[in-house]
């Protein structure tokens, strides 16, 4: 049986993360995933692109921890020192891997480019390391098993690091975590503040903590969405899955319509699936959100099945010309009003020949606020067949990008609520 | 003359900062204040409340850096180990300071409380340390001058740490900074891969490293953009600023049109300023980017000055109906073609009555690719007055969201290049 890993240290490599306004966020994700396997993080470091410092930090971490996870410093430049530093600490050579070299060359060729000579360096592998494929970038990762200890070298960009870590956890690390498996569930909510949700969840937390297996929960709030992550550790799959399913049922019962999904799907995916299932197409009219609602909905693969078109009508003239909003409605109620939102949604629906129209108009700031309509005042409308009409005004907190982001969530969620009635 | 401090490391102590959702933010503030004194931060760590780990991390930091700043772990509980760990590393005793003890007692008494016995521990001072008064809490800080190196022990709560650091900087550290200050510059580029840029920059790096003052550089790449951060240490403001300005001029000369800004402005801001300066308004026609180009441009405050409207024409019908793209052009060349991009840009420009139109059409994937037009094929067009016409096709790497993100940068950058000619 392999040595069970207990204590990890995380080392993020890169001078750019040592400036006053940058942080290493990779370590949060890595901590979360390691904790779930029962591995504690005892320390983490951010280190400049400086060979002596990096070597010393890695040596220290390897003295103390049985798992060292490094991120960053795998690029092709002189500043990218992670491979050399780890090789130096282990007293091992770096060997060029021709398969990796070919893959990097091909990656450049696919874009019509010749691989620059310096990228050769990314094909260097520490002797005895296992190569971790990188589906989203040139730099492969490396995993080095020392028996009683292990090191992982992962790339810095989160979109490359995360899938590589997931694969590493599933393959090399799961076997080293002691026998229990982790079971997870996710409930997404829109329409509650974090503290309100927390208050309603408290009695459940207590009940789950007393259950066997224990169900633990973390609440995350972002962009007006709440994500409740649930997990339980159990050796037995049926017991683990049952505990998670029961906890999900508790939350779903408590929050009703505010529950977006209980199966991990994002809000955008959930809305897309609702539209597709009902054979409906959506058209959008955005003002203050500046295209963000449409951009988020079209992040979902296959969204061309149900997204027909959108207008970003930033000026009043665009609202009149392209959405058929009557000039007198703007004059009477102002461009930021439920009447204008409704006229925009009706206009874009009619002119696009689709079943569902949604509109957002508001004041993203920092300018443009008034006493009666301060920055953050945002009006929404959804129009669809039958009873599927919703209009509302929200006071959205934060700065310009926060108002855009928060409002885009509320708009997408209104589509969800309206379409669910159809 | 005292030894000048150059390289600092920061150690944040506390298991609570090693959870998946907490970060150490003290280090950002400390970094900013140290940089202003010309002290670079070479590494930083977050360490659990574990004596062995903490001692080892502090020993490593003190081996490498000439200034070690610790935050946290100065409380009264068994978990607060910073004093003991530093004393152990230095081989010095901890001595109870009666003046501190009295001050802590008094602090409790002022609130009508009796000092709990465990708080005695906060009166323990490392032999030879200078005590740093804490105006906002019970735990005093400590400063230990080792001649060629120094350590500072500061409390964890920011409201206690910050004023203590300011006092420390003004008194003990200002004299140790050699009078140097840090000068910074930023150059943003679009249109180069990181490795190509690096290859072209290499001769400059060598020249800057040999100059006086030395100019150092870090290169960051994201979303098809490159950010080059430059810094120099100098006692004299004119020399420092001149060195940075000369390095910026080197880069600007080398990269020409690919330089977006040399003053820290983002690509979106730069394009906005160009449009506003020329009194031009922009309309957008997006297909595969799904509104992301417009959303990014409207993240800039005041963008309603120059963003008129946008169409997200996801379906062919929308391109025909709303942008006036001739059906035969789509039939002849396909929706993803330079001809269609050009027709979209001309259509949105004409129908919106603005001076500049931009269009993007491409295959974001994962579906929709063909042999001749694989996923990531994206066509762009900008049309404006006079010579300001640009059309191109790019092969954009990555998954769906990466294609959207990368393409949106290229589209915004094409507007920049076209408008710069007007």
Contact state of A310 with B289 under an 8 Å Cβ cutoff: no
pLDDT value for A179: 66
Per-residue pLDDT of A362-401, as tens digits, reads 999 898 899 999 999 999 999 998 777 899 999 998 889 8
Q: Indicate if the pLDDT at residue A178 is higher than 70.
A: no
Best mean pLDDT range from A158-172, A230-244, A269-283 = A269-283
- The alpha-carbon gap from A342 to the nearest alpha carbon of chain B, in Å, equals 19
- The alpha-carbon gap from A135 to the nearest alpha carbon of chain B, in Å, equals 9
Q: Indicate if the pLDDT at residue B90 is higher than 60.
A: yes
Question: Using CB atoms, which residue from B314, B400, B401 is nearest to A308?
Answer: B314
Per-residue pLDDT of A252-282, as tens digits, reads 999 999 999 999 899 999 999 999 999 999 9
Question: Using CB atoms, which residue from B293, B310, B395 is nearest to A110?
Answer: B395
Which of the four pLDDT bands, split at 50, 70 and 90, describes residue A294?
very high
Overall average pLDDT of the B61-75 stretch: 95
pLDDT value for A165: 94
pLDDT value for A90: 97
Contact state of B42 with A50 under an 8 Å Cβ cutoff: yes
pLDDT value for A346: 96
What does the alpha-carbon distance between residue B8 and residue A13 come to, in Å, rounded to a whole number? 16
pLDDT value for B21: 73
For chains A and B, count residue pairs whose Cβ atoms are closer than 8 Å: 238
A107 contact residues in B (CB cutoff 8 A) = 397
Alpha helix segments (H runs only) across B170-218: 194-210
Helices and strands (H and E) in chain B: how many: 13, 17
pLDDT value for A38: 75
The chain B residue lying nearest A9, using CA atoms, is: B47
pLDDT value for A69: 97
Q: How many Cβ atoms are within 10 Å of B35's Cβ, its own excluded? A: 20
Interface contact A121, partner B, CB < 8 A? no
Percent of residues, chain B, with pLDDT higher than 70: 99
What does the alpha-carbon distance between residue B407 and residue B288 come to, in Å, rounded to a whole number? 9
Residues 383-402 on A with a CB inside 8 Å of B are 400-401
What does the alpha-carbon distance between residue A77 and residue A119 come to, in Å, rounded to a whole number? 8
A291 contact residues in B (CB cutoff 8 A) = 286, 290-295, 298, 310, 312
Q: What is the CA radius of gyration of chain B?
A: 29
Interface contact A75, partner B, CB < 8 A? yes
Q: For the full predicted model, state whether its pTM sits above 0.80.
A: no
> Cβ(A284)–Cβ(A293) under 8 Å?
yes
Contact state of A48 with B40 under an 8 Å Cβ cutoff: yes
Per-residue pLDDT of B345-389, as tens digits, reads 999 999 999 999 999 999 998 988 999 999 999 999 999 987 778
Contact state of B307 with A290 under an 8 Å Cβ cutoff: yes
How much is the mean pLDDT over chain B? 91
What does the alpha-carbon distance between residue B58 and residue B89 come to, in Å, rounded to a whole number? 7
Overall average pLDDT of the B165-188 stretch: 82
Question: Using CB atoms, which residue from B198, B289, B400 is nearest to A118?
Answer: B198
The chain B residue lying nearest A312, using CA atoms, is: B310
Residues 189-208 on A with a CB inside 8 Å of B are none
Q: Indicate if the pLDDT at residue B1 is higher than 60.
A: no
What does the alpha-carbon distance between residue A247 and residue A144 come to, in Å, rounded to a whole number? 38
Overall average pLDDT of the A331-346 stretch: 96
B56 contact residues in A (CB cutoff 8 A) = 60, 63-64
Contact state of A42 with B23 under an 8 Å Cβ cutoff: no
What does the alpha-carbon distance between residue B255 and residue B249 come to, in Å, rounded to a whole number? 10
For A189-216, b/e burial (b = at least 16 CB within 10 A) is bbbbeeeebbeebeebeeebeeeebebb
pLDDT value for B352: 93
Overall average pLDDT of the A145-162 stretch: 94
Overall average pLDDT of the A104-131 stretch: 91
pLDDT value for A169: 85
> Cβ(B66)–Cβ(B146) under 8 Å?
no
pLDDT value for A107: 86
Residue A254 backbone phi and psi in degrees, to 5: -75, -35
B229 contact residues in A (CB cutoff 8 A) = 16, 19
How much is the mean pLDDT over chain A? 91
For B371-385, b/e burial (b = at least 16 CB within 10 A) is eebebbbbbbbbbbe
CA dihedral A366, A368, A370, A374 (to 10 degrees): -50
Give how far Cα A4 sits from Cα of A37, A174, B199, Å. 11, 10, 44
Which residues have a Cβ under 8 Å from the Cβ of A188 and sit 6 or more positions away? A225, A226, A227, A228, A259, A260, A261, A262, A265, A266, A267, A270
What does the alpha-carbon distance between residue A278 and residue A318 come to, in Å, rounded to a whole number? 31
B52 contact residues in A (CB cutoff 8 A) = 64
Interface contact A76, partner B, CB < 8 A? yes
pLDDT value for B182: 77
The chain B residue lying nearest A298, using CA atoms, is: B290
Least confident of A218-232, A241-255, A341-355, B278-292: A218-232
A297 contact residues in B (CB cutoff 8 A) = 290
A42 contact residues in B (CB cutoff 8 A) = 18, 47-48, 50, 53
Which of the four pLDDT bands, split at 50, 70 and 90, describes residue A110?
confident
- The alpha-carbon gap from B307 to the nearest alpha carbon of chain A, in Å, equals 7
Residue B70 pairs in a beta bridge with B11, B153
Q: Indicate if the pLDDT at residue B265 is higher than 90.
A: yes
- The alpha-carbon gap from A325 to the nearest alpha carbon of chain B, in Å, equals 15
Interface contact B186, partner A, CB < 8 A? no
Percent of residues, chain B, with pLDDT higher than 90: 68
Q: Indicate if the pLDDT at residue B167 is higher than 80.
A: yes
pLDDT value for A8: 95
Q: Indicate if the pLDDT at residue B36 is higher than 90.
A: no
pLDDT value for A2: 63
pLDDT value for A150: 95
Q: Indicate if the pLDDT at residue A244 is higher than 90.
A: yes
Overall average pLDDT of the A27-54 stretch: 91
Q: Indicate if the pLDDT at residue A164 is higher than 80.
A: yes
ipTM > 0.85, yes or no:
no
């Amino acid at each position: 049986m392999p040595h069970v890993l207990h204590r990890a240290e995380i080392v993020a490599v890169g001078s750019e993360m040592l400036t006053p306004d940058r942080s290493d966020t990779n370590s949060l994700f890595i901590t979360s995933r390691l904790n779930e396997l029962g591995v504690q993080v005892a320390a983490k470091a951010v280190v400049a692109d400086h060979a002596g410092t990096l070597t010393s930090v890695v040596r220290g971490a390897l003295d103390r921890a049985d798992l060292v996870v490094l991120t960053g410093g795998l690029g092709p430049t002189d500043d990218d020192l992670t491979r050399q530093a780890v090789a130096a600490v282990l007293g091992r050579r770096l060997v060029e891997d021709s398969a990796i070299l070919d893959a990097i060359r091909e990656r450049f060729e696919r874009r019509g480019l010749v691989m620059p000579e310096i990228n050769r360096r990314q094909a260097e592998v520490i002797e005895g390391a296992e190569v971790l494929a990188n589906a989203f970038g040139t730099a492969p990762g490396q995993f080095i098993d020392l028996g009683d200890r292990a090191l992982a070298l992962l790339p810095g960009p989160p979109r490359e690091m995360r899938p590589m870590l997931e694969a590493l956890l599933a393959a090399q690390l799961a076997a080293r975590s002691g026998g229990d498996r982790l079971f997870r569930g996710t409930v997404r909510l829109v329409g509650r503040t974090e503290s309100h949700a927390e208050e309603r969840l408290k009695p459940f937390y207590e009940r789950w903590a007393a259950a066997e297996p224990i169900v633990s929960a973390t609440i995350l709030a972002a962009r007006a969405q709440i994500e409740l992550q649930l997990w339980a550790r159990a050796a037995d799959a049926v017991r683990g899955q049952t505990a998670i399913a029961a906890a999900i049922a508790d939350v779903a019962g408590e929050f009703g319509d505010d529950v977006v999904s209980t199966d991990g799907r994002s809000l955008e995916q959930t809305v897309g699936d609702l539209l597709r299932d009902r054979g409906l197409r959506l058209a959008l009219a955005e003002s203050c959100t500046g295209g963000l609602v449409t951009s988020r909905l079209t992040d979902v693969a296959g969204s061309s099945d149900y997204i027909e078109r959108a207008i970003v009508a930033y000026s009043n003239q665009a609202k009149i010309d392209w959405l058929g909003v009557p000039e007198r409605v703007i004059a009477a109620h102002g461009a930021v009003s439920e009447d204008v939102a409704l006229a925009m949604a009706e206009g874009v629906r009619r002119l696009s020949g689709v079943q569902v129209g949604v509109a957002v108009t508001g004041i993203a700031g920092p300018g443009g606020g008034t006493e009666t309509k301060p920055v953050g005042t945002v009006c929404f409308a959804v129009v669809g067949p039958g009873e599927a009409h919703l209009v509302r005004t929200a006071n959205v907190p934060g700065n310009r990008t926060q108002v855009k982001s928060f409002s885009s969530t509320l708009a997408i969620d209104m589509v969800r609520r309206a379409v669910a009635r159809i």
